[in-house]
Amino acid sequence: MDKLKIVANGALNGEIVISGAKNAALPLMCAGLLSSGTLRLKNVPMLADVKTTQKLLQGMGARVLTDNISEFEINGSTVNNTCAPYDLVRTMRASILVLGPTLARFGKAQVSLPGGCAIGARPVDQHLKGLEAMGAEIVIEHGYVKASAPDGKLKGTRIHMDMVTVGGTENLLMAATLAEGTTILENCAVEPEIVDLAECLIKMGAKIQGVGTRTLTIEGVSELHGCEHSVIPDRIEAGTFLCAVAATGGKVLLRNAAPKTMEVVLDKLVQMGAVIEAGSDWISIDMQQRPKAIDLTVDVHPDFPTDMQAQFMAVNAIAEGESQITETIFENRFMHVPELNRMGANISVKGNTAMIVGVDKLSGANVMATDLRASASLIIAALVAEGETVINRIYHLDRGYENIEAKLGGVGAKIERIR
């Protein structure tokens, strides 16, 4: 099993090109099931989850072609299987996103209950409740969601989601594009990745109003067609590299970034002492001091993203002062705390709040990645720790970061993949 070996090598300096967003690419790929035309996606990150989604779509009969660099062509005209099996779905929660488009287009779908990172309960009840409101009949048997539309078509309706859910918003949005009549989705998530999906669906012929707001109005159409769409830059990858520079010091320019999608993260970095500049598609960070400890509370977009909590905790661990981080999204997303403490951090947890006392230095150690973003926090800590750090179970990392060793190595990090 692959591991990462990291030895602190001082400040980071240079340029990094940001990949497309995983959390946008996966629902966009699933949107290919809505049409018999060809969906051409550019700026797709070549990640483990993307490759799993490719296998999933191919297993359903879709034609999926890729240049194995950044482009995919997905053609749904050959779909002949409406079942998403356990052996693929178990590794990735985003697999549930085939449910809405498959049910909407074919009138039936069977999807295994999903797996993924063990960061807490991420129930799919809002997905199912919304589809049932649109007329679907749903049963859960033997670990599978089995859904059908009585006369082959979902019906437009008003749906108020009981909680803000990214996946639920995406699934119901895709389903509503082919439903008969008008669907109004209330209490929607408003992440940039959802806006990206909606804009792609509009290119495919969907009629959607309210994009970027908590209420989406979708007038169903009889069919969608293919289109070409470029995946938005990954704001979480960009934020991770910015945190690495905040911890180590140095000056780095991020290219192919989207600063308007991550303003709250940039504001927090400025509070830590970073000098941030940005244009339409680039961000620069200049960090010439020890970071200042800051408090933060995780909440739904546009507030501070849960996917950046672990990375900021790693910076706070070596910052000047004391801080608190409160996690309101997932109840089990502090699993990186014991690993950071193994490296000499001073972090304690009470309920959903972590109390961090900044220390002067960390020490290299053997640590274990527990989930995707925890992996990134351990890399940041390792970049400033005295001695050698070995991070185990980095298969989590490969689900969400493309060529991270090469990108960090290119700006001066001593990092290598070992077995």
The catalytic residues are: 117
Residue 107: count other Cβ atoms within 10 Å of its Cβ.
17
Instruction: Give the Cα separation of 227 and 236 in Å (integer).
Output: 26
Q: Quick one: tokens of 284? A: 């620069």
Measured N-to-C along each axis, helices 235-248 and 372-384 cross at an angle, to the nearest 10 degrees, of 20
Say if residues 104 and 145 touch (Cβ distance below 8 Å): no
Query: Would you list the DSSP string of 111-144?
Result: EEPP----SS----HHHHHHHHHTT-EEEEETTE
Distances (CA, A) of 110 to 58, 81, 138, 145, 307: 15, 9, 10, 6, 29
Q: Give the distance, in angstroms, between the CA of residue 388 and the centroid of all CA atoms in the same chain.
A: 29
CA triple 69-72-77, angle to 5 deg: 160
Note every long-range contact of 208-217, with CB atoms under 8 Å and residues 24 or more positions apart, other chains counting: 208/173, 208/177, 213/188, 214/186, 214/187, 214/188, 214/190, 215/184, 215/185, 215/186, 215/188, 216/169, 216/173, 216/176, 216/184, 216/185, 216/188, 217/182, 217/183, 217/184, 217/185
Strands 182-186 and 207-209: unpaired
- Cα 416 → chain centroid: 24
Q: Tokens representing 189?
A: 């998530």
